A and B are shown apart, each in its own frame.
Chain A
């Protein structure tokens, strides 16, 4: 099946710094990628939808200036958490879709801890 990777798998940073998370589709071209956030013992919450070559669409309540998304190629999307704070600590997961339809394939996730 299709493989989606994320890098890094975990990151610890100081409050106020920015962190970039990469999501790659390894064996297919992803026209659409999705970014989710998951807090402990909770479900996945969609943050934004990113389409290659265009601006991301953010879900209600997600700050687009804080969570910068770039989808520069058909195999790579990046999420940058700017000026991270402890409340941004979470598990960030991306998924990729070959065609419009929600994205079946998920990455392994990135654990972000902000001190």
Chain B
């Protein structure tokens, strides 16, 4: 089966600070990666994506970094806000037609 997470790691940050969420992916053949945000009881929401020919991509308040050498992906959120509180998943596309999800990280933002 695909990746399964039994316990979600949690990142707690203060409002206004920057957040960095990390993800290790499994397949060296993966050439496309996506970060999703999932709020409780809702489906995943697309945040940002990156292809393997890039090592950095920026969006609005978010930056994704890709290190193919160590198969590591990170999501940086600038000036974290309470509305950013959610579970964040990275997903990889191993050159097939489906996505493999990571275990997820819960982001908690404190005032």
Which residues of A approach B to under 8 Å, CB–CB? 1, 4, 6, 32, 34, 41-46, 49, 59-61, 91, 93, 95, 97, 100-109, 111
Contact = CB atoms under 8 A, between A and B. Distances in A.
A101 B32 contact: yes
Contacts of A104: 34, 46, 49
B57 to A, nearest CB: 14
B45 A43 contact: no
B45 A109 contact: no
Interface in B63-108: 89, 91, 93, 96-104
A109 B42 contact: yes
A93 to B, nearest CB: 5
30 contacts: A1-B46, A6-B43, A34-B99, A41-B5, A41-B7, A42-B5, A43-B102, A44-B2, A44-B44, A44-B89, A44-B101, A45-B2, A45-B4, A46-B2, A46-B100, A49-B97, A60-B1, A95-B43, A97-B97, A100-B97, A101-B93, A101-B97, A102-B32, A102-B99, A104-B34, A106-B36, A106-B43, A106-B46, A107-B43, A109-B41
**Among B6, B46, B96, B99, which residue has the most Cβ atoms of chain A within 10 A?**
B99
Judged by DSSP, the binding face of B is: loop
Nearest to A100: B97
Interface of B: 1-8, 32, 34, 36, 41-46, 49, 89, 91, 93, 96-104
A103 B99 contact: yes
Contacts of A93: 43-44
**Among A1, A42, A93, which residue has the most Cβ atoms of chain B within 10 A?**
A42
**Among A4, A49, A103, A105, which residue has the most Cβ atoms of chain B within 10 A?**
A103
Nearest to B96: A102
Contacts of B36: 106
Contacts of B32: 101-102
